[in-house]
A and B are shown apart, each in its own frame.
Chain A
Amino acid sequence: MSIETAEQAQDIILDPVTLTVIQAGLQQVCNEMDLAFQRAAFSPVISETLDRSDGIYHRETGELIAQGETGLPVFVGTMQFSTQAVIARARNPQPGDVYIVNDPYMGGTHLMDVKFVRPFFYKGALYAWLANTGHWPDFGGMVPGGFSAKATEVEQEGLRLPPVKLFKQGVIDEEILSIIFSNIRIADQRIGDVKAQAAALMVGDKRLTALLDRYGADVVDAAIAELKSRAEQQMRAKIATIPDGTYEGTAYVDSDGVVDEPLKIAMQVRKEGSDLHFDMAGSSPPCQGPMNSVLATTKSSIYLAMKHIFPDVPINAGTFAPLHIADPDGTFLYAKYPRPVSGCAAEVSQRIAEAVFDAIAQAIPDRLFGAPAGTSGNFALGGHDPDTGKNYVLYLISGGGYGGSLEVDGLSNGCSTIGISKTTPLEVVEQRYPILFEEYSLAEGSGGAGKHRGGFGINYKVRIARGQARASFVMDHGRTGPNGAQGGEEGGRNAVRIRYADGRVYDPPHLSKDQDIRISEGDSVEVTTPGGGGYGNPLERDPDAVMHDIQRGYYDAPEAERRFAVALTADGALDIARTASLRAERRTA
């Protein structure tokens, strides 16, 4: 039936209006799914920080047809891989079925990203797949929240589900649900997320049916095929603006959390005609700790990096066609069972994107930028509140500086490269958990120097107000700061420190990763997040802009002299003559 439809589609002539209308119509179906999911979800990670995505996928190939505009960027590519995994294993899908899957090796990310996949039937035949992903606050495993820094096999990271039918013809399977709820923390609120996630797919089902009723299945089929080829054409037009050649980019992950050695991402990008070839062969081998990346996440990271560089290209399977990614076999970027992977979606993905930026910045510097902070700043605190008698899991994320660019300085406290999530207000965190913030401030000096400097990271300090807790961190850029571009300096580095009430201090040996640090009332956790990389030579920064930075307290005077060669007079004004001579000296040095 479906193949027949596809053949009929060949003969359909689409007028340009219908094509645009169907493009917007498919987009609208996905946007409405995004909205339904986000408004009804319980997990603040989904409702508040929008760590979710919804899309429509091809009935046979599982390729992406359309995706919600406010979906989490890192899910751009991964969901088609997980849908393909469901298609490969689904036996006899029925209307109203919903598969649940979170297996990282089957087109996934980390275990906390739970996908629901629903076959969509139109007039009795399978027409497409609807799928969504939501980040659940916990999916079991050795640390609350799932961001282990020290797991050495995936079983330690949580419950792993291959595609199983959680809903059978619209009815939830209570037995499967009970297995899940018996294996995760804070399970009592998750029923709300399960219902919200399934309800979003139902919204998609209704709206896609209405679209097909209006335009006809064969016309929409033809439009989907045409839109795919148009998106490819558009991506090719963008790629054609990059000069032919081979560009090398590099990025480092601090360590895998277990072995204290940096992991290298070697990104070779070869541009030929309107194609880009990505090769990561020179990257580090698979690692013991959880900083391995599964293939779906590795590919998706490259896709989202290209989308950041060319934001106006629409997203469907055609967009990715000119991007050829060689399987990075034998590296930590192609993890296979049972390698632990909990750091891939939040951290390694951002390093991969950074390596792409680093390479392409050499080719088209006017469109690029210094590297962004590029860490999600995951900090999980699992503890017991003696006042309520309950256990809790607090999960904080943080932002950092973005890189400078051709026209402007970088943004301060920007969201992670792979996310669009806002942080939870401090007042909400203090309402819900027995902790107190002592500071939440701009990390002065953290913006990388450049003609246009990087944006600033933040400092925050959290004190345990009551009871005992265990702190875990999965962050990055503790060893090296985000790269500058075009002669800009690197941004400030990430730092974590535990300050005990008795005056002792503990710095994690792996700098940005650790887990199960026992702390209790009066102890505090201090975090500094990275600043963005600078863009262009700092000696070319307008001295007035540096004076402005000093006035704001972003840099102090000695720092300004050291990093920007801007000198001040005794009364704090710009010393024009000395600035000029300092800059001349540095240039010849």
Chain B
Amino acid sequence: MPDSTPERLNIQPQQPAGKMVGVDVGGTFTDLILIDPTGGLRIAKVPTTVQNQAYGVMSAIEKTGAHLADIASIVHGTTTTTNALLERKIATCGLITTRGFRDILELGRRTRPKPYGLIGSFEPLIARENRLEVAERTDAYGHILTPLDEEGVRNAARALLDQGVEALVIHFLHAYANPAHERRAAEIVREIWPNPYVTIGSDILSEFREYERGTTASVNAAIQPVLDRYIRRLTDELSGKGYANELLVMQGNGGTVSARIVAEAAVNTVMSGPASGVMAAAYTARLAGYPEVITYDMGGTSSDVGLILGGVPAVSAELELEYALPIHVPMVDVHTIGAGGGSLARIDEAGLLQVGPESAGATPGPICYGRGGARPTITDANLALGRLNPAGLLAVDAPVSIDDVKRAISEQVGDKLGLDTDQAAAAILAIGNMKMANAIRMVSLARGHDPRDFALFAFGGAGPLHAVALARELAIPKVLIPARPGITNALGCVVADLRHDYVNTVNTPLAAVDMDQVATILREQVAAGRETIAREGTEIEEITVLHDADMQFQGQTHILTIPVPGPDVGREYLEDAFAKAYWERFEVELPEIRPVLVNLHTAVIGRRPAVPLTALIDKAQQAATPAEAVTARRAVWFAEGDWQETPIYRREKLPLGGRFEGPAIVEQLDTTIVIEPNCAVDVDDLGNLIVTVRSI
């Protein structure tokens, strides 16, 4: 668990917090949650407006009926930048770089998209004709070998402007070791550049690896104008309707940043959607008493898996958004696996049943959506087995019958395997669950953790449908399902803190590290964070600082991250902590080899006022006992015991402190929860369901 150094700020006692709004724009829906600390919760769900997400945001706010003038804070999670990147709807960018190296961004690190198959394509974010070189060179130790050709920089900038470039990246070799040339070049460029879109590579990421650093900087430049324009439109709309307070934007590191400065490091907003879900999970699970959590957000085509350690989401700086597109700024470590409700079942050429990675997506989607899908998916199997309510079929545009769904499963899967319909649907589910469980296992193992030491936190529309079965597969003892699984991302916006991350490369054997320099770097990183938070002017209660060190043994390339208690950390502490962490991860001791201190990382977190989760539940609706929350019974298929007449609980009727046993189905507006047989459910004080998964 990371040590923290909480430092109380001199802040005047707060007035009672006002209404808080979290609004998360997802691929399909824009979700909004409004929490009124004096009581009351409002939720709105509207379709995402793809061209300009601001319309959807505004209509979600309108739907709550709240007056913008009464709202104290709005935190916004947006997919604007992620979508812009994935769809390549980005600004025209240019690059000024070290002579001899303009093609680094196109050549990458000699890869191909998949281990097998030699056909593939790659387009760099910055076209070759917009990548220009200037004479300059710094070596690996930060010594300047060739002075910067300042006139060359000026000429290159002019040429790029003439070529129609809007956003510029300045990226020089070894700038992490000495940023002098990059900074000077930026000064020169800014004299003539007509807009603020000039990205200095080492400012975004002061870490070695030229392709990754340069690509991260290019991503920043490519989305900076896009984000800037979008945020301006949104703030104009909001203030036009009377909103007088600060707009905060979610970042991929799980923290928020003021809209006024968000575009400076636009790259930090990539992956902010998944991050906000994990933030909400961390917040909820911490309050519920589960500091070690694996989060599982299952959607239509894919699922996101995250790790929470000691109540804090794991952060990583090694995202590869897609093939050859690394983004190495610190982000909540969310791993996307290619399985979701829409994953298709098929019989492969070997006659084996496979589920995914092919997906029916949102269109046509599963057969039961009635949008023309004809191939069975995981969702269809859930329906055929009664795990999803067949009555839900009527709610779609062009309803299909449960018999249509069953017939497709039978014809496309059952007949080919000699299974009846139930067995075939059960097989789809079993294999889908097994694939998801294996992927979750790989995600946690790759980060050095055994899933059995965690609780599984399930959210998203489909997560709770599979969570208990997955936990059993993974030998995870507890499953936590929050009160409102469908709006977890929006909740994450409300509970997230301000957060800024800094990294500096040291890359020196620990024995030779100047520990005074370590203290200086860490203090400077803290100072930078405090200054940024001060500039934001957002209301906070305290500032928390987390330090980590990336370490490795001499000669290794992989790193292990070790929590650092504070700037004045001693050499022996680092040495011992690293040896211990290494043993825990690999069960290998290597006294023969010297450790190296690679990077120093600081997160400066401004804690925002706490949000009462009790607002998420409505005690007025609760029954006196769980038994009274049972509103129906239906036959549901379970791996243990086949078809069973199963009680259907209404989630909002379940009383706090109530306890019941599986098999059971819990239904609520935004999801369905399957409780497998031989599992017990407790409803905790915050309305979370805590499922105890007994092995069978």
Q: Which residues of A contact B (CB under 8 A)?
A: 16-17, 19-21, 23-24, 28, 31-32, 35-36, 38-44, 47-48, 69-70, 73, 188-189, 191-192, 195-196, 199, 227, 230-231, 233-234, 237-238, 304, 307-308, 311, 313-314, 369, 372, 397-399, 402-403, 405, 407-409, 411-415, 417, 420-423, 425-428, 430-431, 436-442, 458, 461, 465, 551-554
9 smallest CB-CB distances across A and B, nearest first, come from: A399-B110, A230-B350, A311-B116, A439-B100, A311-B117, A422-B109, A234-B350, A189-B555, A413-B107
Q: Which residues of A contact B119 (CB under 8 A)?
A: 369, 402, 405, 407-408
Contact, CB under 8 Å: B353 / A425: no
Q: How far is the CB of B428 from chain A (nearest CB, A)?
A: 9
- When C-beta atoms are compared, the residue in chain A nearest to B582 turns out to be A40
Residue B158, interface by CB 8 Å: no
User: Which of A397, A412, A427 is close to B210, meaning CB atoms less than 8 Å apart?
Assistant: A427
Q: How far is the CA of A44 from the CA of B554 in the complex (A)?
A: 11
Min Cβ gap A396→B in Å is: 11
Partner of B111, one of A20, A39, A422, A428: A422
Question: What are 24 A-B pairs at a CB distance below 8 A?
Answer: A21-B434, A24-B434, A28-B438, A35-B442, A41-B558, A42-B556, A42-B593, A47-B557, A73-B116, A304-B116, A308-B118, A311-B114, A369-B119, A398-B110, A414-B118, A415-B111, A422-B110, A425-B208, A425-B212, A426-B101, A430-B174, A439-B101, A440-B103, A441-B103
Contact B118 A420 (CB under 8 A): no
Q: How far is the CB of B440 from chain A (nearest CB, A)?
A: 11
Q: Are A192 and B174 interface neighbours, CB within 8 A?
A: no
Known A403-B118, A415-B112, A427-B173; contact A551-B129, beta-carbon cutoff 8 A: yes
A438 contact set on B, CB distance < 8 A: 100
Known: A427-B209, A553-B128. Contact between A440 and B442, CB under 8 A?
Answer: no
A311 to B118, CA, bound (A): 9
Among listed B397-405, B457-465, B583-591, interface-contacting one: B583-591
User: What is the minimal beta-carbon distance from B115 to any residue of chain A, in angstroms?
Assistant: 5
Query: Is A192 in contact with B590, judged by CB distance below 8 angstroms?
Result: yes
B441 contacts across to A, CB distance below 8 A: 28
Q: Check if B354 sits within 8 Å of A40, measured CB to CB.
A: no
Determine the chain B residues whose CB is within 8 A of the CB of A403 once the complex forms.
118
Q: Which of B417, B442, B445 has its CB near the most chain A CB atoms (within 10 A)?
A: B445
CB–CB A441/B102 < 8 A = yes
Task: Say yes or no: is B139 at the interface (Cβ < 8 Å to chain A).
Answer: yes
In the assembly, what is the distance between CA of A189 and CA of B352, in Å? Answer: 45
Contact B129 A423 (CB under 8 A): no
Residues 213-247 of chain B: 1 if any A CB is under 8 Å from the residue's CB, otherwise 0?
A: 00000000000000000000000000000000000
| Chain A residues with CB under 8 A of B435 | 24
Asked if A411 and B173 sit within 8 Å, CB to CB, the answer is no
Write the chain B residue with the least CB distance to A27. Answer: B438
Contacts of A439 in B (CB 8 A): 100-101
Which chain B residues border A440 with CB–CB below 8 Å? Answer: 100-101, 103-104, 107
Q: Collect the chain A residues with CB atoms within 8 Å of residue B557's CB.
A: 44, 47-48, 428
Docked CA distance A426–B431 (Å): 44
User: How many residues does chain B have at the interface if contact means C-beta atoms less than 8 Å apart?
Assistant: 72
CB distance from B466 to the nearest CB of A (A): 16
Asked if B211 CB lies within 8 Å of chain A CBs, one says: yes
Convert B488-510 into 0s and 1s, putting 1 for each residue whose CB lies closer than 8 angstroms to a CB of A: 00000000000000000001000
- A residues in contact with B553, CB < 8 Å: 42, 189, 192
**What separation, in Å, do the CA atoms of A38 and B128 have in the docked complex?**
34
Given contacts A230-B350, A553-B128, contact A24 B110 (CB under 8 A): no
Q: Can you add 11 more A-B contacts, CB < 8 Å, to A19-B352, A35-B442, A73-B116?
A: A16-B352, A16-B417, A24-B438, A192-B556, A230-B351, A411-B121, A412-B106, A415-B112, A423-B110, A425-B209, A461-B100
Shortest Cβ distance from A15 into chain B, in angstroms? 8
- Residue-wise interface mask of B (552-566) relative to A, using a CB-CB cutoff of 8 A (1 in contact, 0 not): 011111100000000
Number of A-B contacts (CB under 8 A): 218
Measured in the bound complex, the distance between the Cα atoms of B350 and A233 in whole Å is 6
B573: Cβ under 8 A from any A Cβ: no
Residue of A nearest to B560 (CB): A39
By a CB distance below 8 angstroms, the chain B residues around A238 are 349
B430 interface contact, C-beta 8 A: yes
Is B120 part of the contact surface with A, judged by Cβ < 8 Å?
Answer: yes
Q: Which residues of B sit under 8 angstroms from A24, Cβ to Cβ?
A: 431, 434-435, 438
In the complex, are the beta carbons of A191 and B592 less than 8 A apart? Answer: yes
> Does residue B569 face the partner (Cβ distance < 8 Å to A)?
no
* B120 with A402: CB separation less than 8 A: yes
Q: Which of B107, B112, B116, B208 contacts A431 (CB 8 A)?
A: B208
* CB neighbours of A47 from chain B (8 A): 556-558
Q: Nearest chain B CB to A23's CB is how many angstroms away? A: 7
Write the chain A residue with the least CB distance to B416: A16
Q: Are A458 and B107 in contact (CB under 8 A)?
A: yes
Contacts of B129 in A (CB 8 A): 551-553
Question: Which of A21, A35, A237 has most chain B Cβ within 10 Å?
Answer: A21
Residues of B within 8 A of A (CB): 100-104, 106-112, 114-122, 127-129, 137, 139-140, 145, 173-174, 176, 208-212, 348-354, 417-419, 426-427, 430-431, 434-435, 438, 441-442, 445-446, 448, 507, 553-558, 585-588, 590, 592-593
Among A40, A233, A409: residue with most chain B CB under 10 A: A40
- Chain A residues closer than 8 Å to B109, beta-carbon distance: 422-423, 425
Q: Nearest residue in A to B101 (C-beta to C-beta)?
A: A440
Q: Which residues of B contact A407 (CB under 8 A)?
A: 119
Q: How far is the CA of A24 from the CA of B433 in the complex (A)?
A: 12
Residue of A nearest to B213 (CB): A427
CB of B328 to closest CB in A, whole Å: 12
Are B111 and A21 touching (Cβ within 8 A)?
no
The verdict on A195 contacting B590 (CB below 8 Å), with A420-B115, A431-B208, A458-B107 known, is yes
Contacts of A430 in B (CB 8 A): 139-140, 174
B397 → A minimal CB distance (Å): 33
Do the beta carbons of A402 and B112 come within 8 Å of each other? yes
Give the chain A neighbours of B102 by CB distance below 8 A.
Answer: 441
Instruction: Pick from A189, A199, A314: contact of B554, CB below 8 A.
Output: A189
Which chain A residue shows the least CB distance to B430?
A17
In the complex, what residues of B have CB within 8 A of residue A411's CB? 112, 118, 120-122
Q: Are A552 and B445 in contact (CB under 8 A)?
A: no
Chain A: CB-nearest residue to B586: A40
The answer to whether A17 and B431 have CB atoms under 8 Å apart is yes
Would A17 and B110 be within 8 Å (CB), given that A196-B586, A420-B115, A427-B174 are in contact?
A: no
Q: Knowing A16-B352, A411-B112, A441-B100 are in contact, say whether A199-B118 is a contact too (CB < 8 A).
A: no
CA distance in complex: A369, B120 (Å): 11
Residues of B within 8 A of A21 (CB): 430-431, 434
Chain A residues closer than 8 Å to B111, beta-carbon distance: 399, 414-415, 420, 422
Chain A residue numbers with a CB within 8 Å of B117 are: 308, 311
Q: Please, which residue of chain B has its CB at the minimum distance from the CB of A194? A: B588
B139 touches A35 (CB 8 A): no
Cα(A307)–Cα(B434), bound, Å: 26
Contacts of B352 in A (CB 8 A): 16, 19-20, 23, 230
Find out whether the CB atom of A409 lies under 8 angstroms from the CB atom of B121. Answer: yes
Residues of B within 8 A of A195 (CB): 588, 590
- State whether A414 touches B110 (Cβ < 8 A): yes
- Nearest chain A CB to B339's CB is how many angstroms away? 12
Cβ distance B558 to chain A, nearest Cβ, rounded Å = 5
- Bound complex: CA A44 to CA B559 (Å): 12
Q: A24-B435, A427-B174, A440-B101 are contacts. A402–B118 as well, Cβ < 8 Å?
A: yes
A195 to nearest B CB, angstroms? Answer: 5
CA distance in complex: A151, B419 (Å):
61
Neighbouring A residues of B350 by C-beta, 8 Å: 227, 230-231, 233-234, 314
A441 partner, pick from B101, B122, B173, B586, beta carbons under 8 A: B101
Q: Which residue of B lies closest to A40 (CB)?
A: B586
B507 contact from A23, A423, A431, A458, Cβ within 8 A? A431
